[in-house]
């Protein structure tokens, strides 16, 4: 054997060593790209989950009906609302019962109809009459829910049925 034959296998090994190095780099890059794709798909699923929850949020609103001398709570959202509590304030002062509300309005606390909002569920598009005052009493009283007298604020506090609001 001469020198060329001995040195030739060494050259093939020296050529193969850099190729193995690039194969390792390619494997690391492929693993990184796969991991990045996994994080992106997880984040996309999270965003879609948030959007679906936002599509079924309830939206509770209180309003008065002058014709029926009543105060209603409406769910104007697209999902059911779980009513956890209701706060009623007359001129900024909290009232604990409907009888106290009527006394604060100057209406005798009898001959009224009330509904229980707390606890309860109000379906999408549903309206619930919170309180209704008898027509004869309301007509004789100077302060009714529809008058320009005391400021009534009914604040239903609820949550979405499909997660936190």
pLDDT of residue 135: 62
If asked whether residues 77 and 129 sit together in one domain, one would say yes
pLDDT of residue 116: 80
If asked whether residues 99 and 131 sit together in one domain, one would say yes
Alpha carbon distance 130, 73 (integer Å): 7
Checking if the pLDDT of 12 tops 80, the result is: no
pLDDT of residue 110: 78
Q: What is the C-alpha radius of gyration for the chain, rounded to an integer number of angstroms? A: 35
If asked whether residues 78 and 138 sit together in one domain, one would say yes
Within 13 Å of residue 49, how many CA atoms lie on the same side as its CB? Answer: 9
Instruction: Give me the mean pLDDT over the 115-122 stretch.
Output: 81
Instruction: Give me the mean pLDDT over the 92-103 stretch.
Output: 86
If asked whether residues 46 and 98 sit together in one domain, one would say no
If asked whether residues 51 and 64 sit together in one domain, one would say no
Q: Please say which residue of 17, 38, 55 terminates a domain.
A: 55
If asked whether residues 79 and 153 sit together in one domain, one would say yes
If asked whether residues 129 and 143 sit together in one domain, one would say yes
| 19 belongs to a structural domain | yes
Task: Please count the structural domains in the chain.
Answer: 2
Percent of the chain, pLDDT > 70?
71
Instruction: Give me the mean pLDDT over the 152-165 stretch.
Output: 62
Q: Which residue has the higher pLDDT, 159 or 92?
A: 92
Q: Which domain holds residue 12?
A: 1-55
Percent of the chain, pLDDT > 90?
15
Checking if the pLDDT of 10 tops 80, the result is: no
Alpha carbon distance 165, 161 (integer Å): 9
Contact between residue 165 and residue 58 where contact means Cβ atoms under 8 Å apart: yes
Residues forming beta bridges with residue 157, ordered by sequence position: 85
If asked whether residues 48 and 68 sit together in one domain, one would say no
Global pTM value: 0.57
């Amino acid at each position: 054997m001469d020198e060329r034959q001995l040195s030739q296998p060494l050259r093939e090994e020296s050529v193969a060593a850099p190729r193995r190095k690039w194969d390792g780099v390619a494997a690391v890059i492929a693993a990184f790209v796969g991991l990045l794709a996994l994080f992106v798909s997880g984040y996309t699923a999270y965003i879609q989950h948030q959007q679906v929850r936002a599509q079924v949020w309830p939206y509770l609103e209180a309003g008065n009906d002058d014709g029926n001398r009543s105060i209603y709570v409406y769910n104007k959202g697209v999902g059911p609302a779980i009513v956890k509590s209701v706060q009623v304030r007359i001129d900024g002062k909290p009232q604990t019962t409907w009888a106290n509300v009527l006394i604060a309005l100057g209406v005798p606390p009898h001959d009224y109809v009330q509904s229980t909002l707390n606890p309860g569920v109000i379906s999408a598009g549903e309206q619930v009459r919170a309180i209704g005052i008898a027509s004869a009493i309301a007509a004789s009283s100077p302060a009714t829910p529809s008058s320009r007298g005391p400021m009534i604020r009914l604040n239903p506090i609820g949550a979405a049925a499909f997660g936190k609001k």
